[in-house]
Chain A
Amino acid sequence: MRSALLVAWREIRWEIFGDRGAVGRMAVFALLPIVFVLSNRSTRVGELTILALALQSALFPALSGVALIASTFTQEKENGTLIPLLAAPVRDIDIVVGKLLGMIGPVLTICVGSVALFYVLASAQFGATRVALALPLPMLYALVVVALLYLLTAGSWVLIVAALVRTSRAGQQIAGLLIGLSLAAFGGLALVAARVADGWALVGLGLALVGSDVVALEIARRVWRREEVLARL
């Protein structure tokens, strides 16, 4: 676990905060809540609209996170920097988990920041009481959990793609396709599930996603074994 944390720390410190472009892209996502609030000037917005906007504030940074996961793995393969890492006394799973943590950690922080910023701005724009009714604390937690689930699910599947393709360009293209498909599936299933069994189907959907994460992470772990990665380098 210590090695996984080291790998994660390196990703955050040098690949995210060491890359001005990445920081700039993330700043754009932080600005999204402002755009969402300002684009709804009506003071009569309903609770459902506030919830939908909050969900967007949480999910948009997560989308960028999935693309980031795809690029971090394919770039390591492309630049050959994976070889020294594989030659170090680190377990395969520590490399995969470390890199995932290194990407998911900052992106989830931005998701939380984005939702918090949205909450403050929406309270000022639509009224604190209305926003508090639409977004009680458990709902805010739920939004962050949804973002995390999305990141884990899409990220794990993208991880498998990243192991199989040779170039970061191909990785990004397939990741983009996966992001679109997963978002549509995620949104569609959530809408349907919310109407079934008083919303209990949503819980079932969440559990199914966790199950899918476990399967995807297991496949990712297998395809990211040294043997497999080296054979594809």
Chain B
Amino acid sequence: MLGRVIEVRDVTRRFGGLVALDHVSFAVESGEIVALLGPNGAGKTTASRIIAGILAPSSGDAVVDGIAVRHDPNAVRRRCGFVTDQPSLYERMPLRAYLEFFGRLYHVDDPARRAAELAELLGLTDRLDMRLGAFSRGMKQKVAIARSLVHDPTVLLLDEPATALDPETARSLRSFIVSLRARHRAILLCTHDLDEAQRIADRVVVLYRGRVAREGTTAGLRAADRPTYLVTFFGDGETARAALARAGIAAQSVAADGAGALRFAPEDPATGNSAALRALLDDGIRVLTLTREERTLEEAYFAIVSEAGRR
């Protein structure tokens, strides 16, 4: 990590009487992928548009690569690549002319060379002179990504980039995003796809009704406040449960193939797990495995959102 490239500082954005963002703050570092999660209307798109310099905050500020959006939005736009869920291409233009046009808008030194480079990077070289209207949905989204990279931006803002893509194209898009992280880009990924976020994001910011409901590393969010453990064994389930109860550990039976399984959540795993194992072995239970259970990001997300909804 090479320092904060995106800083959202206490940003509020109102549309008339509607508060889309309410004192939101978070940051993205260089070489980091942060997933911005939240239900529809949570403020993800508004946040990404403010960072991209196409929407001014009502209060607060967003700073990109040291430049405040309020101070110089054009300089911020020069540092950001922005991809939306819709490719939004000029369909009468061929790929080459399209990328060159945006290259010129972004003052790229040699737009023709850059267009050829990007086409090669995304495997579209043989389609450089084809009209964009003839491209498939997946190819159009690749073109939108190429457009966002035409000026080699420090920051990449991806708003639902994999929407409507087939699994293969979505997978290759994920690999491409990860390869950009290796090139020290700061990437903000607004997505509903929790599986995608779990696979590639380093950190997660959950927005709910315009506020930050939770922020943390993907692993940190997946870890519950009190972790649960699963012990599998050969032997009678009731005997095993009674053994744990004698050790002061409440356990639940869990369905498992060919073996017994109990789930428990010790107050202190360091002592609780040892006590549980000792109690089971003393009662003649043959323990197979003892593993810490992790929530999926999806489970963590729903827990966070439901907690935020109750507040």
Contact = CB atoms under 8 A, between A and B. Distances in A.
Contacts of B105: 3, 6, 85, 88-90
B104 interface: yes
From A14, A80, A84, A231, name the one whose CB has the most chain B CB atoms within 10 angstroms.
A84
A81 B90 contact: yes
Contacts of B97: 13-14
A91 to B, nearest CB: 7
A80 B83 CA distance: 12
B54 A83 contact: yes
A85 B84 CA distance: 12
B92 A18 contact: yes
Contact of A86 (B54, B75, B92, B104): B54
B55 A14 contact: no
Contacts of A89: 74-75, 77-78, 105-107
Contacts of A132: none
Interface in A140-198: none
Contact of A10 (B74, B80, B90, B147): B90
The bracket for how many chain A residues form the interface is 20 to 34
From A10, A13, A86, A88, name the one whose CB has the most chain B CB atoms within 10 angstroms.
A88
A23 interface: no
Nearest to A16: B92
A87 B92 contact: no
B102 interface: yes
A222 interface: no
Contact of B92 (A15, A80, A90): A15
Given A84-B82, A87-B80, A230 B88 contact: no
A15 to B, nearest CB: 7
Contacts of B75: 89
Given A19-B92, A84-B82, A227 B56 contact: yes
Nearest to A90: B105
A18 B93 contact: yes
A198 B268 CA distance: 101
B158 to A, nearest CB: 12
Interface string A11-28: 001110011000000000
B21 interface: no
B1 to A, nearest CB: 26
A79 interface: yes
Contacts of B91: 79
A226 interface: yes
Given A6-B101, A6-B104, A14-B92, A88 B77 contact: yes
Contact of B88 (A10, A83, A91): A83
B23 interface: no
Nearest to B54: A86
A90 to B, nearest CB: 6
A227 B52 CA distance: 13
Contacts of B92: 14-15, 18-19
B104 A230 contact: no
Nearest to A7: B105
B163 interface: no
Contacts of B27: none
A16 B286 CA distance: 79
Contact of A88 (B55, B86, B106): B106
Interface of A: 3, 6, 10, 13-15, 18-19, 79-81, 83-91, 226-227, 230-231
18 contacts: A3-B105, A6-B105, A10-B101, A15-B90, A19-B92, A80-B88, A81-B89, A83-B82, A85-B105, A87-B77, A87-B80, A88-B102, A89-B77, A89-B105, A89-B106, A90-B74, A227-B55, A230-B49
Given A89-B77, A89-B107, A226-B54, 15 more contacts: A6-B101, A10-B90, A13-B97, A14-B93, A14-B97, A79-B88, A79-B91, A83-B54, A84-B102, A85-B105, A87-B54, A89-B74, A227-B55, A227-B56, A231-B15
